[in-house]
């Protein structure tokens, strides 16, 4: 039996995943490309007009309320269920991979939700 189709593929572009359990993961390619290796906390923002999720990395807890954990793959993971629920961002129907861009002026990762 060929099991290669059962293994989820990691995108070859900078991306985040909103997982069906409410976690938000920043893929390793994004971590590397945007220089996020030392990130310990993030601030999450939702722009309802642009329908974007914005993630601002930080090394200081006082600047950002969401703690980041690191997976073996190098991806960064944020427990974002409460944030997603507060902003009406659906997550429980299934995981979504979203391409990202880095806004250097604001120092934020930006992902378009729709």
Rg (CA), the chain: 14
Domains of the chain: 4-112 (2.40.330)
The answer to whether 13 touches 6, Cβ cutoff 8 Å, is no
Model pLDDT for residues 41-91, shown as the tens digit of each residue:
999 999 999 999 999 999 888 878 999 999 998 899 999 999 999 999 999
Residues 99, 63, 66, 48: is their CA dihedral positive or negative? negative
Q: Give pLDDT, residue 81.
A: 96
Model pLDDT for residues 5-53, shown as the tens digit of each residue:
443 567 889 999 999 999 999 999 999 999 999 899 999 999 999 999 9
């Amino acid at each position: 039996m060929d099991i290669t189709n059962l293994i989820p593929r990691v995108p070859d572009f900078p991306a985040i995943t909103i997982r069906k359990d409410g976690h938000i993961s920043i893929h390793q390619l994004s971590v590397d490309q945007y220089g996020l290796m030392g990130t310990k906390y993030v601030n999450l923002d939702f722009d309802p007009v642009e329908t974007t999720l914005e993630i601002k990395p930080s090394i200081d807890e006082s600047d950002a309320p969401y703690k980041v954990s690191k997976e073996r793959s190098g991806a960064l993971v944020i427990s974002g269920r409460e944030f997603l629920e507060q902003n009406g961002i659906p997550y429980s129907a299934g995981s979504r991979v979203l391409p990202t861009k880095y806004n250097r002026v604001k120092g934020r990762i930006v992902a378009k939700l729709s």
